[in-house]
Structure 1
Amino acid sequence: MSFKKLHPLLKESLENAGYETSNPFQKKVLPTLKGGADAYMIAPKGSGKTTALIIATIHKLKAEAFEDSPRAIIVAKDKADVLALKEEFERFTKNTDLRVYALYDEYDMEKQKVEVYYGQDIVIATPARLSKLYFLNGIHLGEVQLFAIEDADYLGRNNAYNLILRLSESVSKCQFVIIADVMHSKIKNYQNNFMSNAHVIAQK
């Protein structure tokens, strides 16, 4: 698909970043994401998965801030991945008033509670810190429209899998998206827990 049907501010950001059209994998996945369906994006690094997620997220949130509670949660493996993803999101949100916030383990918990309380639209978080903040009533998940797991290949190797499973039980009906290089049994099991008729979109 071309970028013509996207929000004008998002189109402007893409043009400023040098994107003229979507690549072949993004052409496959963007209609599904824009349509609101749950989805697995399975493709190797460099295929444009993360950019597709960013485009879909900004479009879903209409490229504008709204009230105080997060409307998109993106889970990433660790502090480095969270900060890198926040920087990538900010490339495409700087001409909007969307608020993007990084939530990671090494930062002061009380400061995070205050900074989240004053209003964020997109929260990019490590599983452990997001879970801890939620169960301390430090973040409200009732308005979440999109819950995504970035680079989910690591989930089979630590407790993050179970943390995300518990968090999903606290999120009202929303769109779930899982991004990975390969499909493996752990993330496939999410289909039976909280994803609804998820589309599996893989790069052949």
Structure 2
Amino acid sequence: MPFKKLIEPLKDIIKSKGFDAPLPLQKQILSKIKGGASLFIIAPKDSGKTSSLVISVIQKLKHAFEDAPRALIFVKDKQAALDLELEFNAFKRGTNLRVYCAYDEKSIDDQKDEIYFGTDIVIATPKRLNKIFFLNGINLNKLQMCIVEDAEFLFRNNNFGEVTRTPESISKCQYLVFSDKFDARFERWQDSFMYHAEIVKG
């Protein structure tokens, strides 16, 4: 998908960053994501996975809407959450989209209250997201996109099991998994909630 098809604020930000045309990976996946496909996106570091994620979420959500999040992004730890939040803040200027980070080092009661006041995009570590959810601290009924960034972390500390629990609690949703390599354990997701997912290699 060429950048000219993006929403105006996003087009302006990308232009200001000096990007004239999509990277090869972005050419492969942006239109697929816009069309609602669930994907395993397998590509090396520095191929544009993170920027593709951010652009796709902003393009799909466009503006703030009600209080419940519409995009949930799983990351490995607090620093990854904060780094991704910075990326979103850089690209979402000109929109009113709200981004919130949920991680273990912060009071869970504060996080429940802050999420309740409204957010569009939640970036979370798996264990903290599940704790908040089972304390009725987040409404996933409006979720449109469920994403895993740098998915290699899933196979440590039971994160794979923690993330697998989320689709059990939501209805129809688009799933995107960004990873350096395709792990055989992903086949479990292909057999359940990601059974129509395409594998895209960049």
TM-score higher than 0.5: yes
Of stretches 190-199 and 44-53 in structure 1, the one that deviates more from structure 2 is 190-199
Gaps of 5+ in 2: none
- In structure 1, the partner of 2:24 is 24
Of stretches 187-196 and 96-105 in structure 1, the one that deviates more from structure 2 is 187-196
Q: Contact 2:43 / 2:201 at 8 angstroms: preserved in 1?
A: yes
TM-score, scaled relative to structure 1: 0.96
Gaps of 5+ in 1: none
Of stretches 129-138 and 182-191 in structure 1, the one that deviates more from structure 2 is 182-191
Of stretches 11-20 and 45-54 in structure 1, the one that deviates more from structure 2 is 11-20
- In structure 2, the partner of 1:142 is 141
Q: Which runs of 4+ in 1 moved over 6 A?
A: none
1:17 Cα deviation from its structure 2 partner? 2.3
SS in structure 2 of the partner of residue 60 of structure 1: helix
Deviations 1:90-112 (A, max 9, x none): 11112210001111010011110
Are 1:116 and 2:115 matched, yes or no?
yes
1:158 Cα deviation from its structure 2 partner? 2.2
Q: Contact 2:39 / 2:175 at 8 angstroms: preserved in 1?
A: yes
Equivalent-residue separation in structure 1 for 2:43 and 2:3 (angstroms): 21
Q: Contact 1:38 / 1:177 at 8 angstroms: preserved in 2?
A: yes
TM-score, scaled relative to structure 2: 0.97
RMSD (Å) for aligned C-alpha atoms: 1.0
Of stretches 153-162 and 102-111 in structure 1, the one that deviates more from structure 2 is 153-162
Matched letter for residue 110 of structure 1: D
User: How many aligned residue pairs are there?
Assistant: 202
- In structure 2, the partner of 1:3 is 3
- In structure 1, the partner of 2:172 is 173
Equivalent-residue separation in structure 1 for 2:195 and 2:37 (angstroms): 8
Equivalent-residue separation in structure 2 for 1:86 and 1:190 (angstroms): 27
1:21 Cα deviation from its structure 2 partner? 1.4
